[in-house]
Chain A
């Protein structure tokens, strides 16, 4: 086994300094992806910088403007149970509760999952639908990146060298929306074959799909169609077809590309109807 040094700094700036100084160093959050990759010999970092002692990365906080700031080290289980997430923001709690199994949710964190950038994972479409912002901190300071710009390709994000995800921010506006997360997986606890995150509000519609492209898939035409057609069956059918056209699915163990294309319209309809069934605000 290669020699790996371990650090668990208490300060965020110390973690950033260690990461920025060595491009073979890796941050460790819940380890539910990283340790599995190490076990499979896919990586051999020179240093592991565990983020678990850093207070600035913890906690879920509702701010005075109604936005919610979720520290990167918040676990999936913590998010799924959080009562700070209310109304439209429940979408994210719903997605968190569908990740893997309880033992995975007890350790895995939103920061680690977002930084990993897996397009079949549950947070990316949920965050895009909620118009969330990723707060990144690196050697050059802090910046806020909209979720729709953050996910750039398969396992590729906007994070630069030495930069980490510090928090996820949910804007107050979509708290007013009716939202739903619909996940279709082969078995409970698997990654999605296709997933649909939807937010509906008086002024518009946002839909993001997971598992059907290198990044979460949206279609402005589909959203306009739904808005204009007032979510009628016909508008949903048209929007489903537009989203299929916008998607770029692959064949893999979780389903063929063709199968995924067939799932999209059905799941979109299911997700919209489920969101509508929630209490209007």
Chain B
């Protein structure tokens, strides 16, 4: 087996690791780095729960080999905020009950981070379109949409 040496920065911390070529970025993040906030639902790109940011852009970590992220900066849910110091979107989800079981939530949040970077005041339709690749089995989506609207409001300086 020929392993590849990679250097990846995850949530600001640099890692030098060896990986098998077919190691998925999702497995690398969860099992090698023990950052288990990134969830894995389907492993074929459909559910969105594994979404992370790679060089600032959303990607499916289940459809990306860790070797392809060599030299990249990754941000996972652990890098977004902490329980004491939540990101505005996390506050939005907290206030508007944007989660139930929480399985889809990390992917929803990382997708929403990218959306708000491009569209700081998205319409409901734009939020729904951006979330079209993220499945939630619990909430019915309504509270997630409201949470993202609320997160956007907080980011705009609203209380």
Contacts and interface: CB of A to CB of B under 8 A. Distances in A.
A46 to B, nearest CB: 11
B22 A101 contact: no
A232 interface: no
A106 interface: yes
B141 interface: no
A62 B127 CA distance: 34
B-side binding surface: helix, strand, loop or mixed?
A: mixed
A103 B48 contact: yes
Interface stretch (A28-36, A203-211, A214-222, A237-245): A28-36
Interface stretch (A3-11, A122-130, A162-170, A250-258): A3-11
Contact of B133 (A77, A104, A107): A104
A189 B133 contact: yes
B30 interface: no
B22 A38 contact: yes
A103 B111 contact: yes
A251 to B, nearest CB: 21
Given A1-B20, A107-B59, A102 B68 contact: no
Interface in A177-199: 187-189
B67 A187 contact: no
Interface residues of B, number: 32
Contacts of A188: 128-129, 132
Interface string A13-54: 000000000000000100110011011100000001010100
A39 B130 contact: no
B63 A101 contact: no
Interface in B47-74: 48, 51, 54, 57-60, 62-65, 67-68
Interface size class of A (residues with CB under 8 A): 20 to 34
Q: Which of A3, A32, A39, A103 has the most CB of B within 10 A?
A: A103
A139 interface: no
B43 interface: yes
A275 B51 CA distance: 36
Contacts of A189: 132-133
B63 A102 contact: no
B89 to A, nearest CB: 16
B76 to A, nearest CB: 14
A35 to B, nearest CB: 4
A100 interface: yes
Interface of B: 1-2, 4, 20-22, 24, 43-45, 48, 51, 54, 57-60, 62-65, 67-68, 111, 114-115, 128-130, 132-134
11 contacts: A4-B22, A5-B21, A6-B65, A32-B45, A35-B24, A35-B63, A35-B65, A77-B57, A102-B115, A188-B128, A188-B129
Interface of A: 1, 3-6, 8, 28, 31-32, 35-36, 38-40, 48, 50, 52, 77, 100-104, 106-107, 187-189
* Across the A-B interface, the 6 shortest Cβ-Cβ residue pairs: A101-B133, A6-B21, A188-B132, A36-B44, A103-B58, A189-B132
